[in-house]
Amino acid sequence: MPQSPQPSQDPDQPGAITDHLAPTRGVRALRGALVAEAVLLAAAAVGVVVDLVARHGSAGAREIGMGAFLVVCALGAGWALLAAARALGAGRRAGRAVAMTWQIFQAIIGATALAAGSTWAVVIGAVLLTLAVVVAFLLLTPRVVAATTRS
């Protein structure tokens, strides 16, 4: 039985396979965490809409305006995180800045929620803060940096 030809390891040859082009476990974990954060932001946006609808019109114009602003911001940040995850998966460095900036904001939000004192706020704050620290750590690991410095 003839052996199939092996792809060349020389990066200048067509069809070459190089290690830095394949997503590392760190990049895959990072992408998964960014997608999870985007899902959390979408859930928060839905929660704001549900809260406004549950008030049956008792919310004033100011509350409706603030709610709409929060929904747009949450969905925009979620979209940016998905775009960052896609860029990181493709090996582009552009996603690192977006992802790290969001981790700083998320850590501030998580720390503020921890200080709020209610049980739900502490749980949500702990989750947000932990996720921010894990993603920031993954963004700074040498393998992820090396895998995302092609462009």
pTM: 0.78
Q: Do residues 135 and 33 touch, judged by C-beta distance below 8 A?
A: yes
Choice between 89 and 1, residue whose per-residue pLDDT is larger: 89
pLDDT of residue 117: 80
CB contact set of 36 (below 8 Å; sequence gap of 6+): 131
pLDDT at position 83: 96
Mean pLDDT, the chain, whole residue set: 85
* Confidence at residue 11, expressed as pLDDT on a 0 to 100 scale: 46
- Confidence bin at 5 (pLDDT 50/70/90): low
What value does the mean pLDDT take over residues 127-140? 95
* Digit-coded pLDDT (tens) for 26-53: 899 999 999 999 999 999 999 999 988 8
Alpha helices in 23-60 (DSSP H): 25-54
What amino acid occupies position 4? S
pLDDT of residue 116: 85
Q: Give the Cα separation of 93 and 95 in Å (integer).
A: 5
Strand (E) or helix (H) holding 117: none
The pLDDT-based confidence of 61 (bands split at 50, 70, 90) is: confident
The single-letter code of the amino acid at 108 is I
Q: Is the pLDDT of residue 16 over 50?
A: no
Long-range CB pairs of 82-87 (<8 Å, 24+ gap) are 82/34, 82/35, 82/38, 84/34, 85/30, 85/31, 85/34, 85/35, 85/38
The burial of 132, by beta-carbon neighbours within 10 Å (0-12 exposed, 13-18 middle, 19 or more buried), is given as: buried
* pLDDT tens-digit series, residues 70-129: 999 999 999 999 999 999 999 898 999 999 999 999 999 999 999 988 899 999 999 999
